[in-house]
Each structure stands twice: as structure tokens, then as C-alpha cells.
Amino acid sequence: MPRTALVLLLVSVLVLAQAGQLASALAAGLPPGCQVFSGAKLFINNQQVFPDVPLLNHSGRTLVPMRIVGETLGAEVEWDPVGYAAIVTTPSRRIVMPIGSAVATVNGVDVPLDAPSVLYQSRTLVPLRFVAESMGCDVGWDPGTLTASVVSPTARFTGFSLDLLPECAVLRVATDGSVPYSVKTLADPPRLIVDLEGTMPGVDWSEQAVGQALISRVRVAVTETPIQMTRVICDLSEAVRFSHRPASEGSGVEVQVYYKVSGVRWEDGGVSIACSGPAQSRTFTLPSPDRYIVDLPGATLTGGAGSIDVNSDGIQRIRWAQFQSNPDIVRVVIDVAEPIAFQVQPTATGLRVARQATIAKVDYESTPDGGRLKLQAGPGASAQAVVAADGRQLRLEVAGAETPGIGTVSVRDGLVDSYEILANGAGVDGFAVILKLTGYVSHRIATSQAGLITLDIDCSPLTGKKIVLDPGHGGIDPGCTSYSGVYEKNVNWPVAVMLRERLLRAGAHVQMTRNGDESINAYGRVDVANNWGADVYVSIHCNAHVQRTISGTEVWHYGDKPASLRLAQLMINQLTKLGMVNRGVKKGNYAVLRETTMPAVLVELGFLSNPGDEKILLNPANQAKAADLMFEALKAYFR
């Protein structure tokens, strides 16, 4: 909805506060508790507005008729005879106002009213505070002239960002509301201009250097005539092609700045294509004569077409030109004596096209610490690994190498079940090796100058281990209360969940004593562990004390069980890295430690009653760190 319409919508429900004399002549037929104001004037953005029915006063609050919404503002107004309510709908809000109720709903959320909506002279009237708080306009009152004024909020420019995407750079100019805008370029010197009408800068702004996608810097200026406007000025190193659209998220505008190809060179046995950004590429081959084609969609060429005679290693010539305009495509052609396999890789300054290396073989071997995958490739080959969230798969992406063959090899050494070699999709160089794992903890990749790629995968000592995690308290038992009023159970639970994720990823089997905010007593928790036959039991808690100065981490165990004592010591050695006082390992006669039949510890992460400990433990990043530290302790215990 245009900003003017938004303001006018507020007119429909404006409250004229504490002004005017009561008009007794119109008192007949008034709703209970209401009186009539007379002599008041209403101005919207400096223009007077004349409501078509009198304004009413109820308990010191003024009510205004809703009919003006439909007659002058373009909002959709309807009557709900079942709910006995007026409904006003705009592009961003749906407001439901039951007659006689002191509660309305805005987008389904209850909002209390200062006075109830009423029916008067076949019109629905509603109070000011509701509208002002819902719509956010500034409302003023001049008691001397009995004049109410409404001023629409001015939209603000809130900043910009630049994302370098494969197809283009995207300049995002953000505002805190929808505004008219225009985008253009100026020459001598080249500039990209984004004008935001009716806006002011919402943040302190200074010139910002960019140095990407041909944008050298961004400046902001403000004009007052002929209209108030914020101008975002992008100084360019050279002219660019662009398109624009309203912001896909939030408010503002997105400007797509298309990349430019500034040069093509033959160097170091390959073709270097200089681009203003990480341009995407499409590759294919053509026969008779043999050619390898690299297309850069969306790009334009600086300096015109050109060519280089190479006549080396089967490569005859390199040619480039603006192959197509609207949509733009720059084409680079490599003329070859016979078909050659090439690879295209992004660089800091554009793209690099070179011959593919060739894989000699792929081998896997078990090692004392895990497993090792070796790929013999030529110089220029590279690899990177991506591990699945559940730790059950590692994908090794190999670039600059030909696929040695497609197939699956069974391993089953306790770490790797199997690995599979897959070719990439059409037009994509390289291949992938997919390793199916029993659990994951870490890996390392090394590449020698001779092109030997080595992937070392560490064996997880947690694979197959049965671990019970006990998030302390829950349900009707909140545990202790923190310095600022947070329940202990709401700290124990996220730490346990994050620890469970890490253990599962490493191949462990995990059982929780509760699966949410549930009530379970100590013996029920013990039964979960004993009946399952767990290997270890870890109970997670936070502490509290009437003396708020007491702080620190401690870990409890029961009796003289050497395994429990060892696990407790490993836990405290790790958890002290949270930065709280080390209160050490302690013996305790807790049922969850005494009655469990496996090694068991109870961790007290810190004292929620201490402001310092509380600040650490309520921070989600520190909760994740606590999970990491307990995970490392459990790895060390089973190693």
C-alpha cells in the first residue's frame, strides 16, 4: 500500500485527545459511556481531513468512525455479522475489532484497547491509542486550536551490502519501509546511483571503500528539494551493466551488477580470464575443427575481441569476443589439434583454464589411528572434503583430475564401510569419492607437488558405545533458579542435546533419560541406563547457593569405582576451559551415581546463582562449548 494510504488508514481510527467541549445536542442515542467532541480539527501531513460522523469521548479516550477507511483510504472494510466485528484489511495488516470489546486483534495477535469499539449512527468507532500503536504514526494535539495532527513516519536508509554471486554481484540497499526508488548510471566519472524517495539516513554514515565488482567506494547524500531523498552513490572504476528489483527480503532495492571480462592471457601453460568478480562459466566442446568453449553468461567484454596464437602442446589458438548481448555472454574459444580434457577453476582475479590431470589410481588402507585414502594425480589437482551432518558420510571433491572409473569398493574396517567413485555432472570437471563411515571425529588432507592427494580419517573411539545422557530436572521439577530468574532445567537440556548430536556424529549410540520438558525421578533415570546396558552415564546439572559469591565447576562420582573416578577427572580437566573456578572432583551419594551399574558422573557446570557463572552458562555459544568439552572427555575416556 502507498505510504499516503497507510497514513490515511490511521486517519480512520485517529483519537482526538482531551480537547473540545461536549456537544450535548448530539447526546441522544449515544453508546453507554460516550459523549461527543465538537470544534476539533484534524490534519494529516499538513492537510485537513473531515470525518463524516462526530467523534466520541469514552472515559477520556476519543473514538473515531471507521467508515472513512472505506470511503477515502482504499482499505478493505467488511462487517462480520457472526463475530459482530468490523474488519479492516491492508496489504500488511488484518485488524478485527469486536463491538463492545476492549480487545482487538492485529494479524491474529490480541491487542488491548484504551476503550471499546462502539456502534454510533450506523458507524463503527474505535479508540486512538490502538491505531497509533498499531500503525506507528506520530500524533500531535494543539489544545489552543483544538487541532490534532498526524505525521507519517519517514522511511530510513539503513545500510548496504554487496554479495559476489556466480551470476553477478548484488548490491542490496536496505530501508526500514517500502519506498519509491530509481536506479541509473552517470558518466565522467562513472557512477551507479540509487535514489530513495522520501527517506533519510537511519545510521551515521561515512564513505566506505569497496574495491569489488568495479565498485570502488560507496557514498551517501541527502537532498531536500524538490523532494526529500537519500542518494546512494557507487563510484565505479568503469561503466557497468545492471538491472534492479525490489528487495527479495525486507525493504529496499537489489541492484544486479554484471561482471566484466577485462582480459584473456596465456600463461603457465593455461588460459587466465580476468573478471571483475567470480563469474560463472559453462563449458562444452565442438568438433570439426576441435574446440573447447568457455562461456561466461551475464558478462560483458572490455576492450573488444582478441586472439592469441599458442601453438604449444596441442593448443593452437585462443580467441575471445562478446558472443551475445541481452542476455550477455562472453565466449572464450580454445582451438586444439585434437580433443583435450580441460578444467576450469576460479581464481582471485577470475578463471583459470588448464589441462586436466589424470588419476593413476585410488587406494584405501587401514591405519592404527583410522584410515587413509590415497589418490595419485598430476600437478594442479586439488581436493576438499565435506562431511555429512550425521557424520556417516565424507565426500571428497577432486578438481583437476579425470575420473579413474566409477564404482563402489567395500572396506568394512570398523571406520569405513565402503567408498564410491562418482563422476560429476555434465560440464563439471573432476570427480568425487564418497566414503561411508561408522562415525566421524576429524580428517586431514595433504597434496604433494607431484599430485599425490592423501586423506587421513581419524577413527572414532566412540563408535558403537552406548552412552546415557541425563539432562537434570525437567517437567514439574525446574531445578535451581539463576541470578536473573532462569530455571536450571532450561540450561541442562540444550547442553545435553548438543552433546548428543556430537556423540551421534562420532558413531555412538545415545539414550536420553528424558525427551523434553518431562518429569522423571532419580530411579526412573537409573532404570533407563541399567535396562539399556549403557557403557557410561553422564548427568548434566547446574549449581546454586545462597551465597552468590560461590562459583565454579565440579564433577561428582560415587564410591571407589576407578572407572567413574577416571571419567570424572577427564570431565573436570576439560570443563575448566569454560573459564569458571575449578572446584575439582568430589564424591557424592546421589542415587543416579550409586544405583547405576556402569561408570557414572554428575557434572555441575557452574553456579547459576553467581552472576559471573550465570553469564557464561546462559550464553548459547558457551553451552555449545560445554558440549564440546564433555565430548572431548568422553573421546579420551574410550580411547
Q: Among all residues, which ones are annotated catalytic?
A: 604
Q: Give dist(CA 102, CA 174) in Å, integer.
A: 37
List CB contacts of 537: < 8 A, sequence separation 6 or more: 467, 468, 470, 529, 592, 596, 598, 599, 600, 601
Q: 621 to each of 170, 495, 604, how far by Cα in Å?
A: 31, 10, 18
What is the sign, positive or negative, of the torsion defined by CA atoms of 41, 46, 50, 55?
negative
Axis-axis angle for helices 620-638, 562-575 (nearest 10): 140
- The vertex-118 CA angle with 111 and 28, nearest 5°, equals 155
- The SS3 call for residue 7 is helix
Residue 273 CA to chain centroid, in angstroms? 33
Residue 240 has phi, psi (to 5 degrees) of -130, 160
For the sheet with 393-399, list strands across it.
Answer: 382-387, 393-399, 431-437, 416-423, 407-410
Q: Give dist(CA 469, CA 31) in Å, integer.
A: 63
Half-sphere exposure in the Cβ direction for 263 (13 Å, CA) = 6
- Give the H or E element holding residue 604: strand 600-607
Strands (DSSP E) contained in 81-214 are 85-89, 94-98, 103-106, 109-112, 118-120, 123-127, 138-142, 147-151, 155-164, 169-175, 181-186, 191-197, 199-201, 208-212
Residue 473 and residue 602 in contact, taking contact as beta carbons nearer than 8 Å: no
Nearest CA-CA partner of 183 in 246, 266, 259 = 246
Residue 541 and residue 592 in contact, taking contact as beta carbons nearer than 8 Å: no
Residues in a beta bridge with 37 = 22
- The SS3 call for residue 289 is coil
Q: What is the radius of gyration, based on Cα positions, of the chain?
A: 35
Q: 533 to each of 292, 455, 526, 599, 636, how far by Cα in Å?
A: 63, 36, 11, 11, 21
Q: Give dist(CA 241, CA 106) in Å, integer.
A: 43
